[in-house]
Each structure stands twice: as structure tokens, then as C-alpha cells.
Structure 1
Amino acid sequence: MSLSALPMVSDADVRSVITVGDAVEVVQRTYADFGQARLSLSRPAITRIGDGTRGFGLKGALLDRYGVAGVRVTPTHASGGNSWCLVLESESGRPLVAVEETWLHRLRTAASAAVAARLLARPDSRVLTLVGAGRIARFVPAAFAAAFELTEIRVVATSAGSAASFAAGQSVPGVTLTSGTDLDAAAPGSDVVVAITSARRPAVRPRHLLPGGTLIGLGGGAEIAAEVLTATADRFFVDDLGYARETGSVASWLGGGLSPDAVDGHLTGTLPAVAAGLLPGRVAPADRILAVVQGVAACDVALACLTMRRLGIA
């Protein structure tokens, strides 16, 4: 019997070889591959094992570009520790590496928002309003700075102290950061609004998506009011509709009585289709565009694979 240890890559190792720019470019390239049917996602999008006391969520993908498959394993209980991405050789299924993915996943989430904005927002967008000041939100300013020539970031949170602390902890060259608790005051003049909250009731209303603006929802709660979709947005995109129906704003709309047919009827298309050049994102400068981005596991696997190769593991 031959025993060999599976390489384990820590968060610190990942941070030593992956940059914000890497994440933005990998996410956009992976979206394009998805749109061109060069990768496959697990179906259902997520499989849950166990319960709130002891359990895990599993999301996977197979990527033709890299010749690998991967499974992202996330504890669903409070004491479960960090997430991991197990990368496999696609032909044989042989495990190649396990990549700790807490830091990398937060970066990927922020990069996904920046790519969505790159595909949908006006190219001259300069002002970003960020709704939420949590752990993932802290990665958003740098990701957007890698995709746009920003001049201002407005941070809005329910706590003035949290918003101010967030703004004080960010350093984006050439960008002014302001903070507050009033989205009504921050939204006017914003080119892009990104919401990443755990709100149980809508924090973003139709009045916050103005002509020419782009609104991107990343959170797992009911952060965007259904009326933004049904009465305000001119165009509506998701990254993966199947998973979007299970969590975040789309799930909250369905849970609140909006029918699946109504959601589908407002859907313009997917971000992967836009990235692949199969569908236009913004058609007119004044379009009000809504996107809900809940995460494509293929992006996590692609970044884990890049980490593996940068470290010379395979």
C-alpha cells in the first residue's frame, strides 16, 4: 500500500501568490468559459449535508480550461472552521490539492461584483456606493479599483461607527472614502451601488437605482426590494439563476410571493452570456441595471487551481 499526503494550502500561502487583479481577471475569464459551455456546474448548485449543529454545503464545477474539477466544502455550523476547495484531476478524479478558501472566497466574491460592474456599468463609472461593512465588503474597494478608475467610494451601514471604521481602514490611492448610514443621501450621483448585507428586510429600494446606474446584490438576505425588479430595472442579470433562486434577494422575492415566472419574465440574461459576448449588458447610457450575484463555484475552483500552479504543486 502506497500512502502520500495530499498537499494542503493555507490562507497565508494563497495570499502570497494571488492578487486582487488575478481574481478579477480569473472571474471574468471563468464567466466567459461558462457562457461558452466550457465548464459545468454541480446540479443542484449546492448540496447540503447535516443540519445547523453539524453539517456542510458542497458546490462543485468541472473546468475544461484547466483540466480539473473541484468541490468547495463550507461548514454550515458555527464551530465548523474555514472553507476548503478540493481540486481534482478531471480525467482520473485523483485529488491534487486542498486549498483553504476563507480569504480566497471573500476575494472572489468581491471580484465577482467588480466583474459584474465591468460588464454592465457605464465604462466611465467613478463613484461606488457600498451598502454593508462586513468581512466580505472589505474586499470590494480594492476589487473595484482594479476594474474602474474610481474617484469616490461611499460606505453605508446601519451603524455609523461601523461605516466610519470601515472607511478608515481602507486605503485606495486616489479615491475619497466617505461613510454614513443614509442610503437616500449616498445613492444620488452613484454610478454603481453594491449591496452585501445579511438584511432580513430590504435595504435597497427603487429610489436607489437611478437612470444610468447599476445595482449589484451580493448578500444572502432580503437586501433588495422586489419592486426594484418589477417596477424600476430596465435590465436584470444573474450569474446562475438556479443558485440565485435558493438564497439572497431572488429567494426572498420568491418567498414573498413573486412567482418564478415573474422573475424569469424580467430576466434579461446571465453574466456569463455577457462575458462570452453572446448578449449585450448595457444597451443605453440611461439604462437602470440590476444584477444579483450569488457566486459561481467554477470561479472558486479556477482560483484554487491558479494557486496550486503558482505554488508549483502541479
Structure 2
Amino acid sequence: MTAPGIPLVPDADVRSVVTPADALAAVRDAWADLGAERLSLSSPAITRLGGAPHGFSLKGALLDRYGVAGVRVTPTHTGGRNSWCLVLESESGRPLVAVEESWLYRLRTAASAAVAARLLARRDTEVVTVVGAGRIGRLMPAVFAEAFPLREIRVVARRAESAAAFAAEAAGCGVPVVPGTDLEAAAPGSDVLVAITSSREPVVHARHLSPGGTLLGLGGGAELAADVLTGSATGRAVDRLYVDDLGYAREVGSIGAWLDAGLPPETLAARLSGSLPEVAAGLLPGRTDPGETVLGVVQGVAACDVALACLAMRRLGIS
């Protein structure tokens, strides 16, 4: 499917050429390049254009590794359909391709969680619990099975039928998937706890954390209670905190919600151990002790979207 001058790559074509292993490598390399300042992100990280009845958000990156720049364009208005990533040749500015980002965005998000886990979790990780059975969560089993030699994946959803559908869809990942609706039952024994929900209220609390565990927050709302950072009578705070893009995370997701609710910025700054890109680049350690509890907040870096769109373009022979 093409338009004059620029190919449009639909979702089905992207799925045919990009694998979970590809996504893990692309995210890892993009984070490492960002940490080493070998790529540039748009500033501010996200630009909002318009509103009702028509609105869009734009996030961009310039990737020296691939010789391209790109902008991810997402409709934000009611009725808006899929996002697209527009890739341009960095030297000339020539548009190269527009890649549909329906499935690819979900894969990138899931892969970002798995790469964060590789950087922060214990090497002997065997059990991953996914909180949230939505479209992004359903790609977690494939990428985590690629990233770790897992013994079990657990999924926790509000509705039993959603958790069961998640488990059925993940049956081919090669790891047993156990569905449930009770995080209190699923959290104990989890090496990695991944929250990817649409909840605007806290779902994961300090009491769900275990020494040596890794918590990853990916949702756009307040899914992580502030006590995971500050501690509470029912649970200890995390020992270390890493974020993929602090500027963007201050606006959305759990960190944005904590700040909006009155968490002093200096408290956040004092608890921040560094960025995931710095860890990926080898500039900072991630986990420093097997007994530490570590939190990674992943809100999405546009460089990963551009890298995967570029990969799809090249796999399809587009230049």
C-alpha cells in the first residue's frame, strides 16, 4: 500500500518481519545510545497539537546509529485510529516511510519492560507477574520468555475472563501462564512484578513488594501507590528507582500522579538512582545487591519506536 512519494507500511506487514528478539535488541541499543548521548530526543519529549474535535501528540528522535530521524504521531481525539511513525533520512530530511504503530507500539512497550527487567532484576529470575491483561500486557509473555528462562508467568486482571483469555493467548510462549484476579495471592514469590494497567487509582502497594524483587510501572495512570517510594506500615519502600525518561515521567503515569498529589520534587530527586539508559550504557549499576528491591518506571522513549520502524522498513526492502 503506497501513497505518492512515501510507502505506508500497514500493521500486518510489520508483524511479518519484526520478532520479540528484534524488539529486545532495538530497545536495548536505543537506551544505550541515549545513555551515552549518541542520539537525541525531541524537546520537550512530547508535543500536543490541537484538541477536540481533532488532536495529536508527537514524540521524536534522531538516531545516528541508523542515520534516520523519526516522529511518532498519535491521534488523541475521540475516533482517532492508529499511531504512525514517520521515518526520515537524517542527512537530507527525505521522508522514507510511514510505519503503522498499532502492534509495533505494543511490542515496543512490552520489550521495554523486559529490557528494564534484564537491567534491574536478579539473574535467577524465574517468575514474572503481569498486572493488567490488556492489549499491551498480552505481549509480555512472548518478550519475557525470550528474555529470561522462566518457570512461570502469572497474570492478574480485574475480571477472571480477561485473565483466562490472556493465559489462553499466551499458551504458545513456552512458559506456563497462571491466570488470577488476586494480586495479594500472586505477588508473593514473584521475581518481577510488571504493572501495565489503565487504572487511575493505585493497584500495586508497598506490601506487594518482596526483598530482591523488581517492580516495573508502565501504565499512564496512578497504578503504583506512592508508598512503594516512601514506605508504609505494611511494606518497605524500594531501595532503588530508575526511570527511562524523567522529564516525560513527571507528566504521566505514577510519578506524575505522585507529584500531582503533593510528593515534594526533592523527595523524588533524592530517591532517584539514575536512568535506565544510563544503566544500559554501562554508566551506572542497576541492581547492586540480590536482596535489593528495585523500581523501574518506563513511560516510553520515542527512539525505540523509530528504531523498530526503521528495522521494519529495512526488512521490507524499503530505502
TM bracket, shorter-chain basis = over 0.9
Counterpart residue number, 1:77: 77
Counterpart residue number, 1:176: 176
Counterpart residue number, 1:62: 62
Q: Following TM superposition, where does structure 1 have runs of at least 4 consecutive aligned residues deviating by more than 6 angstroms?
A: none
Mean alpha-carbon deviation: is it higher for 71-80 or for 165-174?
A: 165-174
Counterpart contact for 1:73–1:84, Cα < 8 Å: yes
Instruction: Tell me, in whole angstroms, the C-alpha distance in 2 between the residues paired with 1:275 and 1:165.
Output: 34
CA offset at residue 172 of structure 1? 4.2
Counterpart contact for 2:141–2:173, Cα < 8 Å: no
Instruction: Tell me, in whole angstroms, the C-alpha distance in 1 between the residues paired with 2:203 and 2:314.
Output: 41
Counterpart contact for 1:119–1:281, Cα < 8 Å: yes
Specify which of 211, 234, 243 is matched with residue 239 of structure 2.
234
CA offset at residue 173 of structure 1? 4.7
Counterpart contact for 1:23–1:108, Cα < 8 Å: yes
Counterpart residue number, 1:290: 295
| Deviation readout 1:37-67 (Å, 9 max, x if unpaired) | 0100001110001114310000000001011
Mean alpha-carbon deviation: is it higher for 50-59 or for 128-137?
A: 50-59
Counterpart residue number, 2:210: 210
Instruction: Tell me, in whole angstroms, the C-alpha distance in 1 between the residues paired with 2:131 and 2:269.
Output: 26
| Closer/same/farther in 2, CA of residues 213 and 168 from structure 1, 3 Å limit | same
Would you say 1:269 and 2:274 are equivalent positions?
yes
Counterpart residue number, 1:148: 148
Alignment of 1:1-314 (within 5 A): 4-231=4-231, 232-314=237-319
CA offset at residue 4 of structure 1? 4.5
Counterpart AA for 1:87: V
Instruction: Tell me, in whole angstroms, the C-alpha distance in 1 between the residues paired with 2:181 and 2:230.
Output: 26
Q: TM-score, normalised by structure 1?
A: 0.97
CA offset at residue 270 of structure 1? 0.4
Counterpart AA for 1:203: V
Counterpart AA for 2:221: G
CA offset at residue 5 of structure 1? 2.1
Instruction: Tell me, in whole angstroms, the C-alpha distance in 1 between the residues paired with 2:172 and 2:216.
Output: 21
Instruction: Tell me, in whole angstroms, the C-alpha distance in 2 between the residues paired with 1:168 and 1:6.
Output: 39
Counterpart AA for 2:214: T
**SS in structure 2 of the partner of residue 269 of structure 1:** strand
Counterpart contact for 1:40–1:62, Cα < 8 Å: yes
Instruction: Tell me, in whole angstroms, the C-alpha distance in 1 between the residues paired with 2:43 and 2:264.
Output: 22
Counterpart contact for 1:141–1:172, Cα < 8 Å: no
CA offset at residue 289 of structure 1? 0.3
**SS in structure 1 of the partner of residue 96 of structure 2:** strand
| Deviation readout 1:80-135 (Å, 9 max, x if unpaired) | 11100000111221111111111100000000000000000001100000000001
CA offset at residue 177 of structure 1? 1.2
Instruction: Tell me, in whole angstroms, the C-alpha distance in 1 between the residues paired with 2:195 and 2:16.
Output: 29
Counterpart contact for 1:60–1:69, Cα < 8 Å: yes
Instruction: Tell me, in whole angstroms, the C-alpha distance in 2 between the residues paired with 1:61 and 1:251.
Output: 22
CA offset at residue 246 of structure 1? 1.0
Q: TM-score, normalised by structure 2?
A: 0.96
Instruction: Tell me, in whole angstroms, the C-alpha distance in 1 between the residues paired with 2:280 and 2:207.
Output: 28
Counterpart contact for 1:218–1:293, Cα < 8 Å: yes
**SS in structure 2 of the partner of residue 204 of structure 1:** coil
Alpha-carbon RMSD: 1.1
Mean alpha-carbon deviation: is it higher for 179-188 or for 294-303?
A: 179-188
Counterpart contact for 1:230–1:266, Cα < 8 Å: no
| Deviation readout 1:223-253 (Å, 9 max, x if unpaired) | 0001101221100000000011111000110
Instruction: Tell me, in whole angstroms, the C-alpha distance in 1 between the residues paired with 2:266 and 2:7.
Output: 46
**SS in structure 1 of the partner of residue 170 of structure 2:** coil
Counterpart contact for 1:151–1:174, Cα < 8 Å: no
| Deviation readout 1:267-310 (Å, 9 max, x if unpaired) | 00000000000000000000000011000000000000111111
Identity %: 69
Counterpart contact for 2:107–2:139, Cα < 8 Å: yes
